[in-house]
Amino acid sequence: MSAQPSLASLARLPSQDPAFYAREYNNRANVPDNATHMAHWAELSRQVRKRAGWLEDLSYAGAEPGPHAADERLDYFPAEPGATDGPPPLLVFVHGGYWRALDKRDHSLVANALPRCGVSVAVINYSLCPAVTVETIVLQAVRSVAWLYRESGRLGHDKARIFVGGHSVGGHMAAMMLTTLWPRVGRDLPADLVKGVVSVSGLHDLEPLRRADFLQVDLKLSARDVDRLSPAFLPPATDAPLVTAVGGLEPGEYHRQTDLLRAAWLANAQAPGAAHVPMPDRHHFNVMHDFADGDSPLLLAVRRMMGVA
């Protein structure tokens, strides 16, 4: 059996050539029929939004909204009645798009199967680069999770069972929620507010994105941003479980990003409910289809993490 790569080797960038990172991270170029897959997301999402009982465009901006409050909205899909005993757990989902594209409405498909399994789902929106910085977007995600904790009584989910998941840079932000020192955000917030994280095709080391010109033109990441906003190089606040997945057809950098976080957060990767889900036939776009399938290995792992298997 070959030895697992060390944390130091995983943290070492494979190349100094900016063209390497342009190739590795340009997902639309790597999957030429990406529009077909995103159209499938949109159709599944439309079907979910045809159901009754969900809440659209709830503001999480708080009592003192800031300059980007119009973007700070979420859609809330409650667990189906009778699907669980007592208040259901909540999955907060953060979409991808390199912080500069897409919308929560493209990702309602995450609520296709989970409410039937006894899980409520919140899909958040946030502002987009280059109008705001990546740090601003991370802080918006923090506000959304804090708001959902505080509004649990009104919305009906269990505030003691809040989990965060995301795809691509959404996986980055989900991981960042586990590095957040919640009592510093609000004295009413517990240190273990987030009970687990799922990062699908997540980006956990931002330095390669800073080196990819097609991204950096909008993201404008600094070396300081990389240090402060790369979850693989930050300590998790708790040992809550980590579920990861990455498509077998994705570029090597996406596999390194996932392996890096798992090696850095070893206790979280080995906690009860943690898992790494192989997805051998998936690329960066069709990995999302598994979020809509209640029997997919991905969603089964998420449900086990949340205690609703």
Give the per-residue pLDDT at 224: 96
Q: Which residue, among 166, 80, 70, has the nearest Cα to 115 in the 3D structure? A: 80
The dihedral built from the CA positions of residue 169, 87, 47 and 76, taken in this order, carries a sign that is: negative
Question: Is 45 in contact with 106 (CB distance < 8 Å)?
Answer: yes
Please enumerate in sequence order all residues whose Cβ is within 8 A of that of 90, keeping only pairs 6 or more positions apart, or say none.
Answer: 119, 120, 121, 122, 148, 152, 157, 158, 161, 162, 163
Element spanning 223, H or E = helix 223-229
1 in a domain, yes or no? no
The domain tally of the chain equals 1
Please give the pLDDT value at position 53. 95
Look at residue 171 and tell me if it is in a domain.
Answer: yes
**pLDDT tens per residue, range 94-106:** 999 999 999 999 9
Q: pLDDT digits over 32-58, tens only?
A: 999 999 999 999 999 999 999 999 999
Residue 248 belongs to a domain: yes
Contact between 101 and 128 under an 8 Å Cβ cutoff? The reply is yes
Q: Is 212 inside any structural domain?
A: yes
| Residue 226, domain member (yes or no) | yes
The CATH number of residue 154's host domain is 3.40.50.1820
pLDDT tens-digit map of 118-148: 999 999 999 999 999 999 999 999 999 999 9
pLDDT of residue 67: 87
How far is 299 from 309, CA to CA, in rounded Å?
9
Name the stretches of the chain with pLDDT < 50: 1-2
The per-residue pLDDT for 140 is 97
Please answer whether residues 122 and 74 qualify as being in contact, where contact means their C-beta atoms are separated by less than 8 angstroms.
Answer: yes
> Which residue range(s) make up the domain with 23?
14-306
Is there a domain that residue 60 lies in?
yes
Q: Over the chain, what is the mean pLDDT? A: 95
Of 189, 202, 126, 122, nearest to 160 (Cα)? 189
Q: Does any domain span residue 176? A: yes
What strands lie across the sheet with 242-247, from one edge to the other?
55-59, 73-77, 120-124, 90-94, 162-167, 194-200, 242-247, 275-279
- What integer pLDDT is reported at residue 1 of this predicted model? 39
**Strand 55-59 with 73-77, pairing:** antiparallel
Domain-located, residue 2: no
**pTM for this model (two decimals):** 0.95
